[in-house]
């Protein structure tokens, strides 16, 4: 019942927003800024031309590649930093120095190192999602009740087995939170990178539409598609928080 009410309220808010958008355009008399219906027609045009799916696939490919690479390395490093104090001392300073640097600031270096190719946005996606996952994993390990670790060690579980079967499951709720944050940042960064460092993807679609005769209906269409995909990606990640292996930390 609560889910149905929540869904109804979400749809109602979106409908109100679209209505206000339409009213604002009509009252302003703008000849450039599109109405919601013009944006819908723009999306249909992109689908008919086969352009939209190509750009969506390009963006999703880059995000998937960079994000999975970041998740693999970040979770491994976070587990080691959280478990071993010497690793934490050795790596934490560098992590904290690099973490506040905006991924956008790395764009000139990414172009210099990798050129205008898929590698540049993948590198930026890797950077943007790596640090939230490292921090989340370390926090997850440090919040594990020490009694679980002591109990496992009393049964002769140590080393790699302790890391995989006790520490990793114990830190999993925080790890998934870090992954969720990292994915959101990665999706944001890929759009910015595609506006500058690549010639395909949704970011490129937006900037190309603006340059091609100020097609702001296609600009807004690209923004809408980015938002919808971002919502779907967040729902996908939030679904992991409902797994039985994670619910023990959040409660029912």
d(CA 147, CA 156): 14
pLDDT digits (tens, 9 = 90+) for 42-98: 899 989 988 889 999 999 999 999 999 999 999 999 999 998 889 999 999 999 999
CATH code for the domain of 232? 1.10.3720.10
Residue 111's Cβ-side half-sphere holds a number of Cα atoms within 13 Å equal to 12
d(CA 146, CA 144): 6
pLDDT for residue 9: 84
Query: Does residue 123 sit in the same domain as residue 4?
Result: no
d(CA 22, CA 41): 15
Query: Does residue 107 sit in the same domain as residue 225?
Result: yes
pLDDT for residue 252: 45
Query: Does residue 132 sit in the same domain as residue 23?
Result: no
The token duo for 251 is: 């409660």
Query: Does residue 6 sit in the same domain as residue 104?
Result: no
pTM of the shown model? 0.84
Query: Does residue 7 sit in the same domain as residue 93?
Result: no
H-type alpha helices, the chain: 2-28, 36-49, 51-83, 85-98, 107-114, 119-142, 146-154, 159-162, 168-196, 202-211, 216-240, 244-250
The token duo for 44 is: 């249909």
In angstroms, how far is the first alpha carbon of the chain from the final one? 16
d(CA 174, CA 183): 14
pLDDT digits (tens, 9 = 90+) for 127-177: 999 999 999 999 989 888 778 778 877 777 777 788 788 888 888 888 998
Q: Sign of the CA dihedral 239, 244, 250, 251?
A: positive
CB 62 within 8 A of CB 68: no
Q: Which residue has the tokens 């560098």?
A: 94
d(CA 110, CA 123): 7
Q: How far is CA 170 from CA 121, 194, 250, in A?
A: 33, 37, 12
pLDDT for residue 151: 81
Query: Does residue 53 sit in the same domain as residue 101?
Result: yes
Average model confidence (pLDDT) across the chain: 86
Query: Does residue 109 sit in the same domain as residue 225?
Result: yes
d(CA 120, CA 112): 9
Query: Does residue 174 sit in the same domain as residue 235?
Result: yes
Number of domains making up the chain = 2
Query: Does residue 47 sit in the same domain as residue 142?
Result: yes
Q: Which of 14-23, 64-73, 152-161, 198-207 has the lowest mean pLDDT?
A: 152-161
- For residue 52, the enclosing domain spans 35-250
Query: Does residue 104 sit in the same domain as residue 25?
Result: no
Query: Does residue 21 sit in the same domain as residue 76?
Result: no
Query: Does residue 18 sit in the same domain as residue 64?
Result: no
């Amino acid at each position: 019942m609560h889910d149905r009410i929540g869904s109804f309220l979400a749809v109602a808010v979106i409908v109100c927003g679209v209505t206000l958008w339409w009213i604002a355009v009509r009252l302003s008399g703008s000849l450039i800024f599109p109405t919601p219906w013009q944006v819908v027609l723009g999306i249909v045009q992109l689908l008919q031309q086969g352009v939209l799916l190509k750009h969506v696939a390009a963006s999703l490919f880059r995000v998937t590649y960079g994000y999975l690479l970041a998740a693999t390395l970040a979770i491994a490093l976070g587990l080691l930093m959280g478990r071993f104090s010497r690793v934490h001392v050795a790596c934490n300073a560098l992590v904290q120095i690099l973490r506040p640097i905006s991924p956008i600031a790395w764009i000139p270096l990414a172009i210099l190192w990798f050129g205008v190719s898929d590698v540049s946005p993948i590198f930026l996606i890797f950077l943007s999602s790596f640090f939230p996952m490292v921090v989340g994993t370390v926090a997850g390990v440090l919040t594990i009740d020490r009694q679980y670790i002591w109990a496992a060690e009393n049964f002769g579980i140590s080393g790699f087995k302790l890391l995989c079967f006790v520490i990793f499951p114990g830190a999993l709720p925080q790890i998934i939170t870090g992954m969720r944050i990292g994915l959101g940042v990665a999706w944001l960064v890929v759009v910015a990178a595609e506006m500058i460092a690549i010639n395909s993807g949704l970011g490129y679609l937006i900037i190309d539409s603006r340059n091609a005769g100020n097609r702001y209906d296609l600009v807004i269409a690209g923004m809408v598609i980015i938002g919808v995909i971002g919502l779907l990606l967040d729902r996908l990640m939030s679904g992991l928080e409902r797994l039985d292996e994670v619910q023990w930390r959040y409660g029912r």
